Amino acid sequence: MGSKFIALAAGGSIYILIVIAGLGLQSRIGNMVGTLQCDLATLFRNPPEGSMQHLVETKIAPMIAQMKVKYPLYIATIFSSAILRDLGLSRELACDDLDRSDYFFDAVILNSFTIVPRNKSIWAACYTQSTGQKIPTTLHLLNHMELYTPSNWTASRSYTSPLTDIDEEMYDDTSISRGSSPLLSLTGKDRDRWTIQERKYAEKAIAVCSMDDLQEKLTNIYKHGIKCTEKEYIHIPMSALNDKDLNIRSCDDRLLVFISTSMPAEFRDSLTDIFETCFDQSFCLVERDTWKDETHNHPAFQSMYWSWYNRHGTRGDDAPSDVQPCLLERQDCMHTNHSQIMPYVSREMHGHEETYHHFMKVFQNVFEWIRTMIETCLPEEYSVLSQVARMLPGNAYSPVHPFTSLVININAQTQGHRDTGDQEFCLVMPVGTYTGGGLALVEPGLILDLRPGDFAIFRSCDVTHFNMNYRGKRASLVLHTDKEMNAWLERRNNWDHNLTLQSYTN
């Protein structure tokens, strides 16, 4: 979260943070999604002609100029001497020196490009030298009532510190192989018909009763890691795992599927209730009987995409290395998409920001438990996934780490498909009160009868999968990472040669 405030200070100086604190906007800023803080910093420093330039030139810059005189601040009262020493800056560096202040904040690595140079003409009010001796103000001693205007206005909220936010095992291994997708040539109704027929094959699967029984059945239907009968499935009820976790590997020792049944009762028992509190009537669980639905038109289900994307990103091939990317225009098109130079968040994260933050807050402990489980049980896969999650622009943190995206499918029964846009794996966890709805993995021939709170991690980009029929109320949480994020991880969308890029090494 601190990186968001650093970016805004880079744009509007440290004094903009005092304004934010005085207006009680800490939570609003802290809850910004994507790289909005970097965009705002650019708008502060060099706003485009029009209303934004007028606002900065006639309101914001003069206000900052007045604050500089009234509250002389020194950078050493805010940041450690070691940081200043590393940057070759004096402890006596005054925050009203915008050039040196910009130099300081530009040195902070935000996994993005440095903010554009400040337009000194627009910020002319702040470059006027003040007269008289400056008596330093200690930031944390500023009286919060002084941060309000007009001076005779009585604040309705209680005091908070100016820069403080208001809101405050066991597992088995079995090896089998993957196959080619049976759906490569099917679309639309043909795919629906294929899924209905495949469900009928899957419904004939005999349920295993124990881990030993599962091992025996896998041995029977696989020879040298190859599935003998294409239409044969093994049904795995979670009760057969006896609260153990199951790790099934392919012949080349790559993860095929990992199943966890060990979610603590304090999380599992309240999962559906807290899920339903997060959404209004436009996006809620309803009773369904998909056995009946299947005989009619297959009804659509609703989805919410809270995702980081890097698809269709603006690449830096052949771009000059000494110019800010946001100042460049492509010669071969009418418009340059500057918003996709770096990875970006989905529209639904912006459009449902309040719901997003509420959901992530109430599910925080669940997602942290899942993260710990993956790190403990699948350390190699965790390492691969977390590389991207650690390199999000603006030092953003993914609440579903080591994944970067969350999709919520509500009242869902998916048809046969592969998620070819996923980076290798996805995690599926159902919630609700239902019977049926198992996750069918076609090539391995497995039916995972997941209960609310159980989760499965599998190679969603390689394995064809769909849901079995169900009765009741059912939704699924799908954690995944866009595979195009690798282009940002490896070469920062081919902008790695740009001198204004400030990013950690992989």
Residues 290 and 378 in one domain: yes
Q: How far is CA 219 from CA 14, 212, 213, 223, in A?
A: 66, 11, 10, 7
Residues 64 and 193 in one domain: no
Domain limit, last residue, from 115, 146, 177: 146
Q: What is the pLDDT of residue 109?
A: 87
Classify residue 437: in a domain, yes or no. yes
Residues 83 and 224 in one domain: no
Classify residue 122: in a domain, yes or no. yes
Q: Of all residues in the chain, what percent carry a pLDDT higher than 90?
A: 57
Q: Which domain holds residue 119?
A: 1-146
Classify residue 113: in a domain, yes or no. yes
Q: What is the pLDDT of residue 104?
A: 86
Q: Of all residues in the chain, what percent carry a pLDDT higher than 70?
A: 85
Classify residue 159: in a domain, yes or no. no
First-to-last C-alpha distance (Å) of the chain: 21
Residues 138 and 192 in one domain: no
Classify residue 243: in a domain, yes or no. yes
Residues 222 and 355 in one domain: yes
Question: What is the band of 150 on the pLDDT scale with cuts at 50, 70, 90?
Answer: very low
Residues 136 and 2 in one domain: yes
The structure tokens listed for 267 are: 């999380």
- Region 173-189: mean pLDDT is 59
Mean pLDDT across the chain, nearest whole number?
85
Model pTM score: 0.85
Q: Quickly list DSSP for 94-151.
A: BTT-HHHHHHHHHTS--SEEPPPPP-TTTTGGGGSPP-S---PPPGGG--GGGGSSST
Q: What is the pLDDT of residue 130?
A: 62
Residues 130 and 265 in one domain: no
- Ranking 300-304, 355-359, 491-495 by mean pLDDT, the lowest is 300-304
Classify residue 367: in a domain, yes or no. yes
Question: What is the band of 334 on the pLDDT scale with cuts at 50, 70, 90?
Answer: low
How many domains does one find in the chain? 2
Q: What is the pLDDT of residue 163?
A: 35
Q: What is the pLDDT of residue 40?
A: 94
Higher pLDDT, 120 or 142: 120
pLDDT digits (tens, 9 = 90+) for 206-224: 899 999 999 898 888 887 6
Domain limit, last residue, from 119, 146, 173: 146
CB 478 within 8 A of CB 455: no
Q: How far is CA 213 from CA 173, 208, 216, 218, 420, in A?
A: 14, 6, 5, 9, 33
Domain of 263, CATH number, reads 3.60.130.30
Domain limit, last residue, from 82, 115, 146: 146
Q: What is the pLDDT of residue 22?
A: 83
- Ranking 54-58, 212-216, 284-288, 295-299 by mean pLDDT, the lowest is 295-299
| Alpha-carbon radius of gyration of the chain | 27
Q: How far apart are CA 295 and CA 141, in angstroms?
A: 70
| Structure-derived torsion over alpha carbons of residues 35, 421, 293, 272, reported in degrees to the nearest 10 | -50
Q: How far apart are CA 65 and CA 125, in angstroms?
A: 6
Classify residue 163: in a domain, yes or no. no
Classify residue 234: in a domain, yes or no. yes
Positive or negative: CA dihedral 136, 141, 145, 148: positive
pLDDT digits (tens, 9 = 90+) for 75-115: 777 777 777 777 777 777 778 889 988 988 888 889 999 99
Residues 358 and 435 in one domain: yes
- Region 228-236: mean pLDDT is 87
Q: What is the pLDDT of residue 181?
A: 63
Question: What is the band of 356 on the pLDDT scale with cuts at 50, 70, 90?
Answer: very high
Contacts of 369 (CB under 8 A, 6+ apart): 263, 264, 267
pLDDT digits (tens, 9 = 90+) for 461-479: 999 999 999 999 999 999 9
Q: What is the pLDDT of residue 503?
A: 86
